[in-house]
Amino acid sequence: MNIELVTIGTELLLGFTIDTNAAHISRALASVGVRVVRRTTVGDGEAEIRSSVSDALERTGFVITTGGLGPTRDDITKKVLAEIFGLPLDLDEQYLEALRRRFEGMGRGPMPPSNRCQAEMPRGATVLNNQWGTAPGLWLEGKPGIAILLPGVPHEMKMLLEYEVIPRIEGRGKREEGRAKLIRSLTLRTTGIGESALAEKVGEVEERIAPVTLAYLPSVEGVDLRLTAWGADAEGAAQVLERAAGELRPAIAPYWYGDDESDLAAVLLDELRREGRKLAVAESCTGGMLGERITAVPGSSAVFVGGVIAYSDDAKAAELGVAEPLIREHGSVSEPVVQAMVEGVTRKFGVAAGIAITGIAGPDGGTAEKPVGTVWLAAVDGDQIRTVGRRFFGGRQEVRARSVQAGLDLLRRLGAS
- Contact flag: residue 359 with a second copy (CB under 8 A): no
Please, are residues 84 and 57 in contact by the beta-carbon 8 Å criterion?
A: yes
Near a second copy by CB under 8 A: residue from 290, 327, 355, 408:
290
Please identify, among the stretches 166-174, 239-247, 266-274, 395-403, the one whose residues bind a second copy according to the rule CB under 8 A. 395-403
φ/ψ bin of 178: left (φ > 0), alpha (ψ from -120 to 50), beta (otherwise): left
Nearer to a second copy, 119 or 294 (CB): 294
Restricted to residues 68-87, the positions that interact with a second copy (CB under 8 A) are 70-74
CB of 312 to a second copy, least distance (A): 4
Please, are residues 63 and 53 in contact by the beta-carbon 8 Å criterion?
A: yes
Restricted to residues 168-187, the positions that interact with a second copy (CB under 8 A) are 183, 185, 187
* C-alpha to C-alpha distances, 91 to 9, 88, 125, 142, 230, nearest whole angstrom: 25, 10, 12, 20, 45
- Contact flag: residue 131 with a second copy (CB under 8 A): no
Query: In angstroms, rounded to a whole number, what is the distance separating the alpha carbons of residues 305 and 294?
Result: 11
CB atoms within 10 A of CB 125: 24
Restricted to residues 296-325, the positions that interact with a second copy (CB under 8 A) are 296, 298-301, 304-312, 314-315, 319
- Contact flag: residue 403 with a second copy (CB under 8 A): no
Nearer to a second copy, 145 or 306 (CB): 306
- Contact flag: residue 226 with a second copy (CB under 8 A): yes
Near a second copy by CB under 8 A: residue from 364, 368, 369, 383:
364
Please identify, among the stretches 27-35, 123-131, 172-180, 251-259, the one whose residues bind a second copy according to the rule CB under 8 A. 27-35
Per-residue H/E/C for 70-119:
CCCCCCCHHHHHHHHCCCCEEECHHHHHHHHHHHHHCCCCCCCHHHHHHH
Query: In angstroms, rounded to a whole number, what is the distance separating the alpha carbons of residues 215 and 180?
Result: 24
- Contact flag: residue 12 with a second copy (CB under 8 A): yes
Restricted to residues 321-350, the positions that interact with a second copy (CB under 8 A) are 348-349
Query: In angstroms, rounded to a whole number, what is the distance separating the alpha carbons of residues 192 and 154?
Result: 32
Strand partners, 377: 357, 388
Nearer to a second copy, 239 or 301 (CB): 301
